[in-house]
Amino acid sequence: MDVYDLFSSCRKGDICRVRYLVEQRDVDLNVRDKWDSTPLYYACLCGHEELVQYLLASGAKCEANTFDGERCVYGSLNDSIRRLLKEYKCVSVRAMQRNDFNYFLHTLLEQGQHSDVKFLVHGQIFAAHRCVLSARSEYFTEMFETKWKGKSLITLKHPLINPAAFGAILQYFYTGRMDIDISLVEDCRRLAKQCKMADLMEELENKCKQVYEFVSNKPGTCVKVLSLEPHTCQLQEEMAQLADCALPTELRVGFGELPFNRVDLFPTYPDICFRVEGFNFLCHKAFFCGRSDYFKALVEDHFSEGEQLQSQPSTPVITLHISHEVFIHVMYYIYTDDTELTMDSVFDVLCVADMYLLPGLKRLCGKTLGKAICEDNVLHMWKTAKLFRLSRLEDQCTEFMAKNIERLVEQAEFAEMIKEDAASLEERQETDSVPLVDDIRYHIASNVQTYSAIEEANQKLEALEELLSSINIDC
């Protein structure tokens, strides 16, 4: 429903609603509908300039000379929006960080931190990580164990290997995304064939057909850059293999049992060991340090380098004082940006995610908790959301409160919560607003269109006002 609401609001130009959906409900700005259109496309088509500006600033993709960029420009209602799109340069760092996992993978490739292999291609050096390349390609898995075994610098001299195309292939391995000049498509297709990447070859072919059809039907447009969007599920599944391999043998029951699993044949070249309740998890500094400042500080602290793994003397051992069940959730999140949470474990994982500075894992916990909101726990859930700064869960709680306000006003705990929220505001005057009350009022009044809905909303507001009057809060 949130995605439908986003498309609808972009067509109407309701910037307040779009801002709420993006910033409070965490709706993906670049989601596509069944016509392969994005929210930005509809905002351009309907001529909502201020909304287009907001979407671009928040990370909507519209690079010049790409399929999406040209489509938005061609479909724009007026010249001022076309100018706005043409002045758009690239996604800002702030916008990229909204999608934390994509930003991490992008910087992992770009900065090459903790890389363990370099490729020299006709004078250009590309830093990479054997664990990522092995997880994404059986060709690289085989080469690292045979022809390239033990090498930290690999020279590729074949005259048909184009450095720019090789860089684009690496971008695809790390991020699932590819941005290449149209002239390099054939070079990329050749490399994809060499690396036995049938899916990428098919995707390149389909994208070329799509661009050709678009340019043929829209005279005057010019697409110079071909962009492939990531298939998040495939990327996550292949990165999950690194987490599968990191599991101690005795804990692998129930994990790594999917078809075509390569755990037993798949060396991942770990460089850090986390010891949790006596179990050794063989992991990678690049992932743990790149995703969490807590782990970055922990790994770089020279005191933690004291113990070494006996089976691999060069691998340092760090002991963590949490349960191994919780660490497994943390580990899978770090490698894949996802983990399967249950109500039995979610509060423990939430506390550890807060301690380990993993805001994305906290949001996942918030989503799990949001599905379990009911009248018996909504007040506790709201307090949890406030404590851990989970804005979407907090909003879901206030929305639920608004729907059930006539029963909630009868609870003494609810009245106390309003008093505490009012008292928490510094220098609050007697008639100043209370955030919790404001949010509930907003949800009661939002999207009220029919006469019966107006009557129902007024009854809810009256019940809330009676409670506020009884506890002497004027807001």
144 or 448, greater pLDDT:
144
Q: Is 126 helix (H, G, I), strand (E, B) or coil?
A: strand
In CATH terms, the fold of domain 234-369 is Potassium Channel Kv1.1; Chain A (3.30.710)
* 164-178 per-position pLDDT tens digit: 999 999 999 999 888
Q: Is 128 helix (H, G, I), strand (E, B) or coil?
A: strand
**pLDDT computed for residue 91 by the predictor:** 47
Q: Does domain 100-230 have CATH number 3.40.1670.10?
A: no
**pLDDT computed for residue 413 by the predictor:** 93
Question: In whole angstroms, what is the distance from residue 1 CA to residue 30 CA?
Answer: 16
Mean pLDDT of 99-118: 88
Say whether pLDDT at 344 is over 80.
yes
**pLDDT computed for residue 56 by the predictor:** 87
Both structure tokens of 393:
């869960």
**pLDDT computed for residue 97 by the predictor:** 46
**pLDDT computed for residue 251 by the predictor:** 85
The ranges assigned to domains in the chain are 2-95, 100-230, 234-369, 373-470
Confidence of residue 253 (pLDDT cuts 50, 70, 90): low
**pLDDT computed for residue 264 by the predictor:** 55
Question: In whole angstroms, what is the distance from residue 282 CA to residue 272 CA?
Answer: 6
Distance, CA of 58 to chain centre: 14
Look at residues 272, 97, 103 and name the one whose alpha carbon lies nearest to residue 174. Answer: 103
Q: Is 18 helix (H, G, I), strand (E, B) or coil?
A: helix
Other C-beta atoms within 10 Å of 126: how many?
Answer: 19
* Percentage of the chain exceeding pLDDT 90: 51
Q: What average pLDDT does the structure give for the chain? A: 86
Q: Which residues of 203-226 are buried (b: 16+ CB within 10 A; e: fewer)?
A: bbeebeeebeeeeeeeeebebebb
- 272-276/317-320 β-pairing: parallel
* 404-422 per-position pLDDT tens digit: 999 999 999 999 999 888 8
Name the least confident of 8-17, 122-131, 162-171, 447-456: 447-456
Mean pLDDT of 442-454: 83
Per-residue DSSP letters for 304-337?
GGS-B-SSSTTSBEEEE-S-HHHHHHHHHHHHHS
Say whether pLDDT at 11 is over 80.
yes
**pLDDT computed for residue 63 by the predictor:** 76
Other C-beta atoms within 10 Å of 233: how many?
Answer: 11
Say whether pLDDT at 7 is over 80.
yes
Helix (H) or strand (E) holding 408: helix 405-408
Query: Do 100-230 and 234-369 agree at the fold level?
Result: yes
Q: Which residues pair with 156 in a beta bridge?
A: 121
Q: What is the pTM of this model?
A: 0.79
**pLDDT computed for residue 396 by the predictor:** 92
**pLDDT computed for residue 331 by the predictor:** 97
Look at residues 382, 381, 347 and name the one whose alpha carbon lies nearest to residue 361. Answer: 347
289 or 448, greater pLDDT:
289
Name the least confident of 47-51, 147-151, 297-301: 297-301
The CATH code of domain 2-95 reads 1.25.40.20
* 47-98 per-position pLDDT tens digit: 999 999 889 888 888 876 677 788 888 888 888 888 888 777 554 444 444 4
Confidence of residue 306 (pLDDT cuts 50, 70, 90): low
**pLDDT computed for residue 254 by the predictor:** 59
Say whether pLDDT at 384 is over 70.
yes
Confidence of residue 429 (pLDDT cuts 50, 70, 90): low
* Percentage of the chain exceeding pLDDT 70: 91
**pLDDT computed for residue 250 by the predictor:** 86
**pLDDT computed for residue 260 by the predictor:** 46
Contact yes or no for 242/284 (Cβ under 8 A):
yes
